[in-house]
């Protein structure tokens, strides 16, 4: 069930809100409100595939039991090691089994088996959330939660499938006041959800259709130079609008229930350095990697004061690439960003500064070029696209993307929007749109979107694959 589907907007969400409102009206105990949200979240997750629920349930049960063991006095280092082994092993089995098997075969020359393993939705996200809580618990930075609070924290449906990766102290304390929902929260929730819906259907899905033929053709051979660059630029736009759309819709949905989850994007394409871009992009993942990988790794390398940050950056972003997908192209994507961040750090330490316009151009170009690594389906396709983008195509090919006025307008207007226009949280924070005429207009626009969705195919969000 997709956030951008009529089944979700017209059936699931109204039923959830109605049940929640009814329980509030009859002044049901807060535990009943939590259970209603938890059951709704599990129904939402199970709707995709009945096989998914046992995986989620086992993960919740094992980690909650582990939290009790930690509270009973398990030594912190042993606890952290056990948390990492159990959770990364669980994630590795479902997500990386075939990749590791294939890699071993490639390195040794032996024939290795292929396993029939399906990837549970959201496993990367809910695994990382549980790791963060249990490590904080082992270090004395978290407290014990009830089973209901813990399961709702991990399973809350707006953020279950594709984040944000919410920390326990950002969400669980709000459960104590679950129930009241203000008009301001409803208004801002509608704003966030509508903007996310618009980003997904009007922008992200349009770019997906525009560039798909180029990446498909790259599986077979060279593509035209302009096609290669438009594909890279188009995917940079697509992945931003697709993922930030999901995050906006998740924030809006949480507000409908009186809850606040963290912002995940803050105009990353306005950044004038790669370091700044990563502070603005997928903020909750970046902060997780900083706190649970980069900082501990840097602290363990005290003897290498000059190089430890560079090494820690490379390792952190190699892991970031692997987290995004089980493929060599994702590992190279992580390495590309890690090397770029190391270069940025060295540049800053030397005291060099670039004019903002040049810094922005270099940052955006570096990020856009990495689209080949992130979107291409194989290293062969990556090599083909890189070769084609620098006029080294081995054969003459016809362009696949028509430079029609509509396509040119789509590309140019999107560039203007991401650089000069306010982002979702800035718009949702404005006061003027909450006036009655504007609210009515927003409501009509929301209804038009619902009917528009009936005439288009429902496209999954990119990060559902991770």
- Same domain for 125 and 234, yes or no, is no
Residue-number span of the structural domain to which 13 is assigned: 6-180
- 139 and 203 co-located in one domain: no
Task: Determine, yes or no, domain membership for 370.
Answer: yes
Nearest to 463 by CA among 231, 214, 232, 121: 121
Cα distance between residue 173 and residue 166, in whole Å? 12
Among 157, 180, 203, give the residue marking a domain's end.
180
Please, is 213 exposed, middle or buried when counting C-beta atoms within 10 Å of its C-beta (0-12, 13-18, 19+)? middle
Question: Which tokens go with 87?
Answer: 């959770």
Q: What are phi and psi for residue 285, nearest 5 degrees?
A: -70, -45
Residues 142 and 195 in one domain: no
Is residue 258 domain-shared with residue 387, that is, in the same domain? yes
Q: Is residue 131 part of a domain?
A: yes
Residue 432's pLDDT is 58
User: Any catalytic annotation for residue 324?
Assistant: yes
Number of Cβ within a 10 Å radius of residue 188: 23
- Same domain, residue pair 111 and 173: yes
Residues 171, 198: one domain? no
Residue 287 belongs to a domain: no
**Residue 148 sits in the same domain as residue 241:** no
CA distance 151 to 155: 6
3-state secondary structure of 461: coil
Distance CA 5, CA 464 (A): 15
The answer to whether position 40 is within a domain reads yes
- How many domains does the chain fold into? 2
Could you state, in chain order, the average pLDDT of each consecutive group of 10 residues for the chain (466 residues)?
86 94 91 96 91 93 96 93 94 90 81 82 94 96 95 96 93 90 86 90 92 91 90 95 93 95 95 95 95 90 81 94 91 96 91 91 95 91 89 70 88 92 85 58 64 64 72
149 lies in some domain: yes
The reply to whether 386 and 451 lie within a common domain is yes
With beta carbons less than 8 A apart as the criterion, state whether 249 and 261 touch.
Answer: no
What pLDDT shows up at residue 285? 95
Give me the pLDDT at residue 454, please.
60
The reply to whether 33 and 123 lie within a common domain is: yes
11 lies in a domain? yes
pLDDT at position 118 is: 83
Catalytic residue among 167, 199, 270, 324: 324
With beta carbons less than 8 A apart as the criterion, state whether 306 and 324 touch: no
Within 10 A of 108 (CB to CB), how many other CB atoms are there? 9
Sequence-distant (≥ 6) Cβ neighbours of residue 310 within 8 angstroms: 342, 345, 346
Give the pLDDT score at 186: 87
* Domain termination site, one of 180, 202, 233: 180
DSSP, res 27: T
Would residue 344 count as lying in a domain? Answer: no
**CB-based contacts of 144, cutoff 8 Å, min separation 6:** 67, 68, 71, 137
Q: Residue 164, preceding bond cis, omega within 30 degrees?
A: yes
Tokens coding 9: 């907007």
Greatest Cα-to-Cα distance within the chain, rounded to the nearest angstrom:
72
Residues 6+ apart with CB under 8 A from 333: 321, 324, 370, 373, 374
Q: What is the full DSSP assignment across 167-224?
A: -HHHHGGGGGG-S---HHHHHHHHHHHHHHHHIIIIIIHHHHHHHHHHHHHTTTS---
Task: Answer yes or no: do 129 and 253 share one domain.
Answer: no
Choose the final residue of a domain: 147, 180, 213.
Answer: 180
pLDDT for the residue numbered 401? 86
Report d(CA 128, CA 70) in Å as an integer.
18
Residues 153 and 234 in one domain: no
Regarding whether 198 and 147 lie in a shared domain, the answer is no
For residue 314, tell me if it sits in a domain: no
């Amino acid at each position: 069930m997709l956030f951008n589907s009529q089944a979700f907007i017209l059936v699931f969400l109204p039923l959830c809100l109605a049940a929640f409102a009814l329980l509030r009206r009859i002044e049901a105990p807060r535990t009943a409100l939590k259970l209603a949200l938890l059951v709704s979240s599990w129904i939402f997750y199970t709707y995709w595939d009945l096989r998914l629920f046992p995986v989620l349930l086992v993960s919740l049960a094992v980690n909650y039991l582990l939290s009790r063991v930690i509270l009973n006095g398990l030594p912190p280092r042993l606890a952290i090691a056990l948390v990492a082994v159990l959770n990364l092993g669980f994630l590795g089995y479902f997500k990386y089994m075939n990749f590791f098997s294939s890699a071993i075969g490639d390195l040794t020359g032996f024939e290795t088996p292929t396993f029939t393993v399906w990837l549970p939705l959201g496993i990367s996200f809910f695994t990382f959330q549980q790791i963060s809580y249990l490590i904080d618990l082992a270090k004395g930075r978290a407290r014990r939660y009830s089973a209901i609070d813990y399961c709702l924290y991990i399973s809350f449906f707006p953020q279950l499938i594709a984040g944000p990766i919410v920390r326990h102290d950002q969400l669980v304390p709000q459960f104590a006041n679950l129930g009241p929902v203000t008009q301001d929260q409803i208004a801002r929730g509608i704003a966030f959800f509508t903007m996310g819906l618009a980003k997904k259907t009007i922008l992200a899905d349009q770019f997906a259709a525009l560039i798909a033929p180029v990446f498909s053709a790259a599986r077979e051979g060279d593509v035209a130079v302009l096609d290669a660059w438009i594909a890279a630029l188009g995917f940079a736009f697509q992945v931003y609008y697709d993922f930030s759309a999901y995050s906006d819709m998740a924030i809006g949905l949480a507000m409908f229930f009186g809850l606040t989850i963290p912002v995940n994007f803050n105009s990353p394409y306005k950044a004038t350095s790669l370091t700044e871009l990563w502070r603005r992009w997928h903020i909750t993942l970046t902060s997780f990697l900083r706190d649970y990988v980069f900082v501990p790794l840097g602290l363990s390398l005290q003897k290498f004061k000059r190089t430890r940050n560079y090494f820690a950056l490379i390792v952190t972003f190699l892991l970031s690439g692997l987290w995004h997908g089980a493929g060599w192209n994702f590992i190279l994507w992580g390495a590309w960003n890690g090397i770029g961040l190391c270069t940025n750090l060295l540049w800053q330490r030397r005291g060099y500064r670039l004019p903002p316009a040049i810094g922005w151009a270099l940052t955006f170009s570096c990020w856009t070029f990495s689209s080949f690594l992130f979107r291409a389906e194989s290293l062969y396709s990556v090599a083909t696209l890189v070769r084609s983008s620098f006029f080294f195509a081995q054969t003459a090919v016809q362009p696949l993307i028509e430079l029609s006025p509509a396509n040119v307008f789509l590309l140019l207007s999107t560039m203007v929007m991401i650089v000069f226009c306010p982002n979702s949280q800035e718009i949702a924070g404005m006061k003027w749109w909450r006036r009655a005429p504007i609210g009515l207009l927003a409501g009509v626009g929301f209804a038009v979107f619902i009917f528009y969705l009936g005439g288009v195919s429902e496209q999954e969000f990119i990060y559902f694959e991770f």
